Chains A and B, each alone.
Chain A
Amino acid sequence: MSEVTTLSLTDLVQNIKEKKLSSLEVTKGFIDRSEKSKILNTYITEDFSSALEKAKSFDNKPNFDLKLPGIPIAVKDLFCTNGVKTTAGSKILNNFIPTYESTVTKNIWNEGAILLGKLNCDEFAMGSSNETSFFGNVQNPIDKNLVPGGSSGGSAAAIAGNLTPITIGTDTGGSIRQPASFTGTVGLKPTYGSCSRYGIVAFASSLDQAGPISKNVKDCALLQEIISTYDAKDSTSIEFKRKSYSKELTNNIKGKKIGIPKEYRVDGMPKEIEELWTKGIEYVKNCGAQIVDISLPHTNYALPAYYIVAPAEASSNLARYDGVKYGFRSKGENLIDMYEKTRSEGFGSEVQRRIMIGTYVLSSGYYDAYYLKAQKVRKLIKNDFDYAYKKVDAILTPSTPSSAFKIGEKTNDPVSMYLNDIFTVPVNLAGLPAISIPAGLDAKGYPLGLQIIGKAFDEQNILNIAYAMEEKIAFKNKITDWWIK
C-alpha cells in the first residue's frame, strides 16, 4: 500500500485508529519510499529496522488513545535522540550518539510516534539552502537541482517528497518557514518559549524554536499541541495556557483584522511575489477578515541586527565543540594546536564565517557598536509589532522574497543568501509565532509561500487564519517523483 505516503497525518491517525491501517503498514510504506528516494539525500541517519520493530510492537499492543498512534516520523538532525546518532549536519558531531532525548522529540514519542530517522539540515542550522551540511546538499522534490531551502531542508524535502507524514524542524531566522515555502509545505515557528529547547543542538539560544513542518494546517496544529509543553529544564520555557490547537481549529476568521506592513514591499522584489501577496489579501478578505495597512518602521534593520545577534550567540554556543569531550578530534602538537585543527577541520566554512562574525561583534571595543546596538534594534522591532498589534490580530506577508533557487546559485554570495531571510527574521527577533503556507506557484511552477505572523502565544489564531486561507487557496503541490525511476 504505497499510497499511505500521500495521506495526511490526520488521515493516517484516523486510519490507524479505525484499524484500516497498521502501524507496520504505514511505517513500511514510508520506509519503502524513503529507500527509493536516496537521491534526495534527505536522511543523515536512517533508523528503519528499529522503526519496523517499534511498529510491530505497537501493533501487538496498540494504544489508540494516543495522538500519534504508531505514526513513523523522521526529524531534523538537530534534535538529540537517545541512542541514535545526532550530527547537526556537522563533521564535528559525525560520531556523536546522545544518551538523552530532547523534550520535543520525547513529547512525540510519548504520543506513540516512532522515529524513522534523522533528517539533513544545514550545519548547525546555519544556512538557507541546506548546502552547508557536511552530509551534502538535499534535492528539492519540486525539481531537480533545486535547493529545498534551509536550514530544515531535509525536513521540508521529506514532507514534500512524502517520506514522512510530518516532521519537526527548528527556526532561528526562518529555517522552518523558508524551506516550507520552497517546498509547498506548511511550516510553523512557534512563540519563543513555547517549545522546550532542551536537547536541541543550540545555534542562537535567544532565537531558536522547534516547530512542525506538515502537509496541511490541521496536521501542523496537531503536532504543535503535542510538542509545545512547559519544561523546567529550559529556563526560557514559558508557562502559559496551551490550547488543543487541532481541536479548536476553525476556518471562521470573520472580523479578524489582518495587518499589511508597507515596509515588506522591498526593492527588487519579484513581481510574482507582489502578486502572490495581493492574491493572499484577497483570500483573507474572502474569508471575511478585514485588511488594515500598518507600518513596522524598523524592518530594514532586522536583517543586520539578526546577523549580529545570531552569530554572537553561535560563536559562544559552539565553543563546546573543542575535541576534548566528544565528537571529532584532530591530532595536535599541544592543546591550542588540537583546538585549531579540530575546529578548522570539523566546522564547515559557513559555520566558521559565523563564528568569526560572532567573535568579532562581541570583542571588547566592538561590543557596544555591534552587539549592544543590535539588541536595541531588536527591542525597537519588538515595539513595532507591539504597536501594530494594538490595531490588528495578525500580519500577512510573503514568506520569502523569491521561490527556490538552483543548487550552487548563491553559495559564493553569502549576503544574497542571507537576504532570503528578510521576511522571516523580524519574527524571530520579536519572539513571535508565524506560519508559512503554500499559496501559489511562480512562472517556473515552483511553490511560493505566504506568512501569517501572530501575537505572542496566539498560535491558535494564526493556525485558524492559515486554515481558512488554505481552504480558499486549495494549493496542490506538483510532485512528479522525478527522482524515482
Chain B
Amino acid sequence: MIKDNSEYLISRDSNTYEVVIGLEVHAQVTSKSKLFSSSSTTFGAEPNTQVSLVDAAFPGMLPVINEFCVKQAIKTGIGLKAQINKRSVFDRKNYFYADLPQGYQISQFKYPIVGEGTVILDMPNGQKEVGIERLHLEQDAGKSIHDMDPQNTLVDLNRSGVALMEIVSKPDLRTPDEVSTYIKKLRSIMRYLGTCDGNMQEGSLRADVNVSVRIKGSEKLGTRCEIKNVNSIKFMQMAINYEANRQVDLIEEGKTINQETRLFDIKKNETRSMRSKEDAHDYRYFPDPDLLPLEVTDDFIKKLKADIPELPDDKKKRFIDKFKLSPYEATILVSDIDISKYFEEIIANSDIKLATNWITGELFAVLNDKNLEISDSPISAKNLSKLINLIKDGTISGKIAKTIFELMMDGDKDPQKIVEEKGLKQESDPKAIEALIDKVITDNPEKVKEYKSGKEKLFGFFVGQAMKVSSGKANPQLINDMLKKKL
C-alpha cells in the first residue's frame, strides 16, 4: 500500500487514491496565568484549586485580556512566518456543557490574531512547505470526569480559561509521516520561542485531524471528516490510516462520504461517527461585548520581532554553513531547542566533529534506551565537553572514552576525575611504548617470523597485543608508528 516514504497512496482494483490531510492544532500557551484571568495554569494541581470567579463565570465577572498571552501568540505567528493582524476580535462560541462555565468559549472567529504563514518540513526526499491558514487565541474548557463517581459527573475547572492557540494548517499534508514531521516541527518552533511547551502527555498539544481522499491526480478535494482531539502523533497516524481506508472503501462501494465529526477509539484502532454536519452545533458566534477589539501597533510587533531567538530553520543553515555539518546531522541537532543548546554549549569549548558524533551516537543511544529527554540527560554538556577534550588532546583514547562515558552516567561524574581515579590516562611516553612493544615482540617470536615472511595481516595482532598489555591505555597512534619501525 505504501510505495515509499514520500508517497502514501491507497490502491483498490483500478483506482489509486491520494490522502489529503489538514490539522487544527491546539497548543497551550506557555503562561503563568490564564487568558482572561490571573489564575495559575500549573499542571497537575488539586482539582478546582486554580479557579477564579471569572473562570467559574460568577455573575458580574468580566474577562480582561492577558497581554502576555497576546505576545506569545504574536511571537508564534512570527515563528510561522505569518501575517500578524493588527486588529483581531474575540467572539463568543455559545454551547452548553458542564465544564464550560460561561456557556460560551471566548475564541476568535472572523478576525484571528495571526493570518497565513508557512512551515517547512524536512522530509527524507527533500523539503516540503505546509501552508498555515491562521492562528487564533481561545480559552480552554474545564474537564468533566465521568468515572470517579457512580452517580455524578465531576467537573474540574483548573483548565477553564487557560489560553490556547489554535493553529490551522491548509490541507497540504499527504502522508502520516508528513503529519508526524509537521507536528514535531510546530512543536520545535514553539519550544524555541517558549510559547508552548509541546507536552502532549499533559495535553499541551493536541489536534483535530481533517482527512479526505481523492483519486490521484484529481484537483478537487473530497468530502472531509474531522477526527476530534487526538493527543499523540502515533494515534494521529493510526487514525489517518484507518479513516483514509474507510473513505476509500465507501467510495469503491459507490457510497458517499458524509461530512462529519468522528472520534478515534484507541483501543479498537478505528474512527467512529460523533455527529454529522446536520447535527453540528450552531455556535451562534458573535463579538464578545465584554471585550474591545484587540489592537496592536507596528511598534509592539517590532519589539516582539526583536525578541525572537534563532529558529530551527536558521540554526540548521548556520550549522551547515559554519560548522560544516551534514544536513542530516544539522536537522537532528536543531530538532529540539534543548538538543541544540546542549550541542552549542559543548562546541563552545570542544571539537565540533567529535561533539556531533558523541551526541548523535553515544548520548542519543543512552537517551533512547532510557526513554529520556535531553533535558534529563544523565551526562551534562559540561562533562561531555570535558570528555571530548580529553580525547582531542590525546589524554585518553576513543576506546577508553567509551568506558569513561559509561562511568560518567552514574551521577554525572567529571571524566577528568574518573581518568585520575582509575588511572586511565593514555600512555604516550615513547619509552614506555617501546618497552611494551619489545615485550610483545619477545613474547611472540613465531608471529614475528610469519609477519616478516610476508603475512602483513598480522600487524593488527601486534597492535592488539600491545593494547592488551597496556590494559588499553597505550596511545594507538604511537603503537602503530613504533611497531612499524621495530618490525
Contacts of A312 in B (CB 8 A): 286
**B60, B61, B62, B291: which has the most chain A beta carbons within 10 Å?**
B60
Known interface pairs A235-B64, A325-B101, A335-B153. Does A320 touch B59 (Cβ–Cβ under 8 Å)?
yes
Question: In B200-250, which residues have CB < 8 Å from any A CB?
Answer: none
- Tell me if B103 is interfacial: C-beta within 8 Å of chain A: yes
Decide if B96 touches A319 in the complex (CB within 8 Å): yes
Residue of A nearest to B95 (CB): A319
Contact with B along A312-330 (1 / 0, CB 8 A): 1101101110101110000
Decide if A235 touches B291 in the complex (CB within 8 Å): yes
Contacts of A233 in B (CB 8 A): 62, 64
Chain B interface size, as a band, is 20 to 34
Question: Given the complex of chains A and B, what is the CA–CA distance between A255 and B132 in angstroms?
Answer: 61
- Tell me if B290 is interfacial: C-beta within 8 Å of chain A: yes
Residue of B nearest to A80 (CB): B60
Binds A, one of B50-58, B362-370, B424-432, B446-454: B50-58
Question: Given the complex of chains A and B, what is the CA–CA distance between A102 and B60 in angstroms?
Answer: 8
Question: Given the complex of chains A and B, what is the CA–CA distance between A204 and B286 in angstroms?
Answer: 13
Question: Given the complex of chains A and B, what is the CA–CA distance between A244 and B210 in angstroms?
Answer: 60
Residue of B nearest to A334 (CB): B153
- Tell me if A307 is interfacial: C-beta within 8 Å of chain B: no
- Tell me if A60 is interfacial: C-beta within 8 Å of chain B: no
- Tell me if A387 is interfacial: C-beta within 8 Å of chain B: no
Known interface pairs A235-B65, A362-B94. Does A201 touch B60 (Cβ–Cβ under 8 Å)?
yes
- Number of CB contacts from chain A to chain B under 8 A: 97
Decide if B102 touches A367 in the complex (CB within 8 Å): no
Binds B, one of A115-123, A192-200, A346-354, A401-409: A192-200
Binds B, one of A93-101, A214-222, A268-276: A93-101
Decide if B58 touches A98 in the complex (CB within 8 Å): yes
Question: Given the complex of chains A and B, what is the CA–CA distance between A374 and B12 in angstroms?
Answer: 54
Residue of A nearest to B103 (CB): A319
Residue of A nearest to B281 (CB): A364
Decide if B60 touches A197 in the complex (CB within 8 Å): yes
Question: In B92-110, which residues have CB < 8 Å from any A CB?
Answer: 92, 94, 96-98, 101-104
Contacts of A202 in B (CB 8 A): 59-60, 290
- Tell me if B155 is interfacial: C-beta within 8 Å of chain A: yes
Decide if B60 touches A320 in the complex (CB within 8 Å): no
Contacts of B62 in A (CB 8 A): 197-198, 233-235
Decide if B286 touches A335 in the complex (CB within 8 Å): no
Decide if A316 touches B96 in the complex (CB within 8 Å): no
Decide if B59 touches A98 in the complex (CB within 8 Å): yes
Residue of B nearest to A232 (CB): B64
Measured between C-beta atoms, what is the minimum distance from B439 to chain A in Å? 85
Question: Given the complex of chains A and B, what is the CA–CA distance between A100 and B62 in angstroms?
Answer: 13
- Tell me if A339 is interfacial: C-beta within 8 Å of chain B: yes
Contacts of A320 in B (CB 8 A): 57, 59, 101-103
- Tell me if B398 is interfacial: C-beta within 8 Å of chain A: no
Question: Given the complex of chains A and B, what is the CA–CA distance between A319 and B153 in angstroms?
Answer: 20
Decide if A198 touches B60 in the complex (CB within 8 Å): yes
Question: Given the complex of chains A and B, what is the CA–CA distance between A53 and B64 in angstroms?
Answer: 36
Partner of B290, one of A88, A235, A335, A362: A235
Contacts of A326 in B (CB 8 A): 58
Using A316-B94, A316-B103, A339-B96 as known contacts, list a sample of 8 further A-B pairs with CB atoms less than 8 Å apart, ordered by residue number in A.
A80-B58, A86-B59, A199-B61, A235-B63, A312-B286, A318-B103, A367-B285, A371-B286
5 nearest A-B residue pairs (beta carbon): A319-B103, A205-B289, A362-B284, A206-B289, A320-B57
